[in-house]
A and B are shown apart, each in its own frame.
Chain A
Amino acid sequence: MNTEHQILTPELAEKQSLRREEMRADVLRPLEKIGMLGKLWIAFLVIILLIGCYAYYLQLKDGLIVTGLRDYATWGIYISNFVFFVAISLVGALISSVLRFTNFTWYRPITRIAEIIAVAGVCWAGLIIIVDMGRPERLLNLFTHPRLQSPILWDVVVVSTYLTTSVLLLYLPLLPGIAICRNTLTNKPKWQRWMYKFLALGWTGTEQQWKIMKRSIKMLCIIIIPLAISIHTVTSWLFAMTLRPGWDSTNFGPYFVAGAFLAGTACVIIGMFVFRKVYHLEKYITEVHFDHMGKLLVFLALIYFYFNVNEYFVPYYKMKGAEARLLNDLFSGQFAGLYWSAQLFGMFLPAVLLIFKKMRKPGIITLIAVPVVVFAWVKRYLIVTPILLNPYLPIQDVPESWMNYFPSWVEIAIVSASLAGVLLIITIFARLFPIISIWETLENEGIELEDLDKLNNEKA
């Protein structure tokens, strides 16, 4: 990065303008036309979403009896999915904010990928928690009869606050990009041109506009760090505030936050790989970015490993009562396969493999990141369900179906639909807006769009 502010001579301005035009063409090219593969991908996601809608209709009609949830396993894959979505949404804060304040600059071309993953994740987190309710219309009672002492209310407050912040943090840096779309993509349908015009907020790149935008982004970046930690800490408290073996832990807040950063980073690596390939963005999302993300993943996996040791080794050493039953279930019982796979493929192996530089190449690191994401989801399932099936008072004299949990097709369809929904939001966003922030990436190269705009405006 060129940290020194250069004096913008006409020659330099000309050179920088050319670079800007080049990047604009590269970034907007994928938005010009959707290929057959792109259409098929969207159609596939929409079909899964519609199947999920039908399954939810059945659940609304007949109640939660159509799910595998019963009196003991009252939370199943819906809540596991909710925790997973909240987890991946934290990456927006990590990439946009934490890295910004640590004076790194390499992350700039991937901020938007991280932010859209965050927005899509938190949107669906809010929806999936409503799906878990047998009587969703009672959600209003949370607002008409609030109980401030309940972690459920804290969760609703913090999820809606985080969603607003994430949307703003996605939208504000996008303003110059939307203005470019408005000015360039003039052959698009009327609604799309109207949308660009409306969302661009009359952006012309005046000095005042740049100043307000940058100051607002800075403010958002400051508040999003405590908010991101809060959202996942409060999510962990939904469990930790309940007296259950396995959840009754003071370690839960940082344990959740660490796991969330790991899962989110792996999601961003996959996103980087896909957009780089599909949108031909090799010039902007380079091998250096994958290398840095690989190192970040190792660091986060080691932190998560530390919290896992605390979370499982300490109760394992004591092996008391119900806790022992749960740990036996996880270590050598019915959940052992999932548990050890999650620890091995979701945390331990990635941390070891990505130490080697060769493993941090785009293709290989993506192959390593995929199981990290898959087993991050499995890990959330293991945090939710086995604990409910191992209560402090042993389960006795209850119907067989209460003693086990396996998701019904309705649950699987709804959860698949929510995953498709996240991908659909990301896909549609990337089809309408630049997936790389042009001004932030150019700033990384020492080109201040603000100065160029100023020059252009003066000329005009």
Chain B
Amino acid sequence: MINNFRNKWLRKLFIGIAISIPMCLFAQDDKQAEAENVPATMKLKLVVEDSVKTCKAIIMAGDKPLEGIQVKFYVKRFFGSLPLIANGKAVSTDETGVASVKFPNDLPGDANGTVIVSAKVEDDDNYGTFEAKDSVKWGTIVSTALQEEEWNERSLVGSGNKAPLYLIYSAGVIIIIVWGILLYVIYSLVKIKKAGKVKKV
């Protein structure tokens, strides 16, 4: 009797454990999934700290900072993006969710010195790809006036109507001399024809 009672309880206990373990596991997965479903957001702050231009990317999932996310920083150039760290290496976010990189002082910007900086997370296991961009006047000012001045100069790399004068004159003289001789020879054909007619007369 006692044995029967004990066996019943043991069986219930086993069944209970067997049901509760997977339930706990599923409950944990749900909790994690809930955390991952919160999309990561990135803010790009371009600040000057102790005279050092610094690009800071702050990555949060809701109100929680994300640590260990790999962030790459770029500056927009004419044909593509220039990595701010050599070889396009990434910077990890710290426990406050911040990844930062120094901005160089000698990077050319546009006519106002404006550059467009972007921070990018690429193919993160949990949060995928996302980026943030901002513009700032940290670039060196490239004078368009100077460019225009160079553009208007006669040069070998210039447009057709900006050919160097020495090239125009030397080519012109050669062409005139050679074609002058050729035209004279062609005129000689007319003279040959006339010389034949004279004979007939």
Which residues of A does B touch, CB under 8 Å? 145-149, 154, 157, 161, 164-165, 168, 172, 175, 201-204, 206, 208-209, 212-213, 215-216, 219-220, 223, 227, 457
Contacts and interface: CB of A to CB of B under 8 A. Distances in A.
A146 B181 CA distance: 24
B185 A202 contact: no
A201 B185 contact: no
A42 to B, nearest CB: 30
A216 B185 contact: yes
B193 A202 contact: yes
17 contacts: A148-B160, A148-B171, A149-B158, A149-B164, A157-B175, A161-B182, A168-B185, A202-B192, A202-B193, A204-B200, A206-B198, A212-B188, A213-B188, A213-B192, A215-B188, A216-B188, A457-B199
A223 B185 CA distance: 11
The 6 closest A-B pairs by CB, nearest first: A202-B196, A147-B160, A208-B195, A148-B163, A201-B193, A216-B188
B88 to A, nearest CB: 15
A383 B178 CA distance: 30
Contact of A147 (B163, B181, B189): B163
A168 B178 CA distance: 13
Nearest to B185: A216
Contacts of A168: 182, 185-186
A168 B179 CA distance: 12
Nearest to B183: A164
Contacts of A175: 192
B184 A219 contact: yes
A8 B179 CA distance: 39
B107 interface: no
A212 B188 CA distance: 7
B21 interface: no
Given A208-B195, A212-B191, A147 B159 contact: yes
Interface string B139-175: 0000000000000000011111001100110010001
B181 A223 contact: yes
Contacts of B200: 202, 204
A451 B198 CA distance: 18
A402 to B, nearest CB: 20
B198 A208 contact: yes
A208 B196 CA distance: 8
A212 B168 CA distance: 34
B11 interface: no
Contacts of A201: 189, 192-193, 196
A201 to B, nearest CB: 4
A149 B167 contact: yes
Interface residues of B, number: 29
Contact of B156 (A149, A157, A209, A219): A149
A148 B167 contact: yes
Contact of B163 (A149, A215, A216): A149
B6 interface: no
A212 B198 CA distance: 14
Q: What is the interface of chain B mostly: helix, strand, loop, or mixed?
A: helix
A148 B199 contact: no
B8 interface: no
B196 A209 contact: yes
A172 B175 CA distance: 22
Contact of A206 (B167, B171, B186, B199): B199
Nearest to B170: A148
B39 to A, nearest CB: 32
B156 A206 contact: no
A146 B161 CA distance: 8
Contacts of A223: 178, 181-182
B191 to A, nearest CB: 5
Interface string B66-94: 00000000000000000000000000000
Nearest to B177: A223
Contacts of A146: 160
A173 B104 CA distance: 74
Contacts of B196: 201-204, 206, 209
Contacts of A161: 175, 178-179, 182
A201 B188 CA distance: 11
A308 to B, nearest CB: 30
A458 to B, nearest CB: 11
B183 to A, nearest CB: 10
A165 B181 CA distance: 10
A147 B171 CA distance: 12
B185 A220 contact: yes
Contacts of A213: 188, 192
A146 B168 CA distance: 12
B171 A209 contact: no
Given A204-B200, A227-B178, 17 more contacts: A147-B159, A147-B160, A149-B163, A149-B164, A161-B182, A165-B182, A168-B185, A168-B186, A202-B196, A204-B196, A208-B195, A209-B196, A212-B188, A219-B184, A220-B181, A223-B182, A457-B199
Given A202-B196, A204-B199, A212-B192, A219 B181 contact: yes
Nearest to A179: B196
A32 B159 CA distance: 57
Nearest to A222: B181
Contacts of B181: 219-220, 223
Contacts of B197: 202
